[in-house]
Amino acid sequence: MASEAIRAGVVGATGYTGAELVQLLSEHPHFELSFISSRKNAGKNFSHLYPRFQDEIDQQLEHPDRLSEVDLELLFLAVPHTVSMNIVPQLDLDSTQVVDLAADYRFPSVSDFNDTYEIKHADPDNNEQAVYGLTEHNREQIAGAALVANPGCYATAALLPLVTLLKDNLVTGPFFIDAKSGISGAGRKPSATTTFVARNEDILPYKVGVHRHQAEIAAHLPATDVEPLFVPHVIPVDRGIEAALYCSPRSSVDFAQIETSLKDFCERHRLLRYRSEPAGIKAVANTPYCDITAIKGGEGRLVVFSCLDNLLKGAASQALQNANLVFGFESSTGLLRG
């Protein structure tokens, strides 16, 4: 475990997720925020773009091309998908360990990435060594990893409980995932579908059955060849995801076994909470927690609810958990009050 502050940087510091990372790193006891960049806003102070940080984080944003001029031990890439795979090959992963929040290294198979994102992967060699950063399930692989692929927000919500139940051999498919997300999940860049007028007082299903997180979820579900059906919706809240996961208990399994499995899983991990009744988005907004609940949905039916903040547990705070493990710290370091 390092005794001096670890020099950390964020590429893409002005997006919603990047800004969350900047705040978390500025308060971390072991990481020092040494470099923040934005291609569009280089030269401006971070607090100019996010006034709530005035007199707290007034650091100047650098152009990402200056990355080669700085000495960093830890780098977060909070950039659009397909950008990271052109940055990582230019880095020395022996001296700079990377947590990528884009999708570029999330798939074990490059061909799956190519099919899902309809572009040829530019860095297949590093893709082979990348570790999927689903923190609570992959702690041992993440520790000391040179390159960690942070999961997608929807994928995190779905996989945390489903991987647990599948590993314990308690459930079977088909798997239906019905998830609602706040508007920030679409990113900071405005579009016709993310304006207040378009989204207020509305709920919109989109990319049903073809959303990219469906392929990501399928790639990381163990012990099953049944591809899930994923139905995402955007709802008129700033942040948060509520996912309802439908599946079936195995014939010899009763509900008490399922509840015990999920309770034990949550008790082993500081940032997971089991609830006897489903939580709403307000229970997790602006926190690093994921709340999980199992409900018996009648004979042979099971509904598992998973609720998290898409910008934190679904992105920035999970990325920090992974960085903590990479450098030998407890995964929740810098994420809890007090």
Asked if residues 175 and 228 have their Cβ atoms less than 8 Å apart, the reply is: yes
What one-letter code names the amino acid at 322? N
- Pick the catalytic residue: 153, 247, 290, 307? 153
Q: Which residues contact 61 (CB under 8 A, 6 or more apart)?
A: 13, 14, 36, 37, 38, 41, 42, 43, 44, 45, 46, 49
Cα distance between the two ends of the chain: 22
CA distance 133 to 91: 20
| 153 counts as catalytic | yes
In 19-86, DSSP assigns E strands to 31-37, 74-77
Nearest to residue 12, comparing CAs of 48, 39, 32? 39
DSSP classification of residue 166: H
Which run of H or E residues covers position 222? none
Rounding to the nearest 10 degrees, give the CA dihedral for residues 265, 270, 276, 281: -120
CA distance 271 to 276: 17
Known catalytic residues?
153
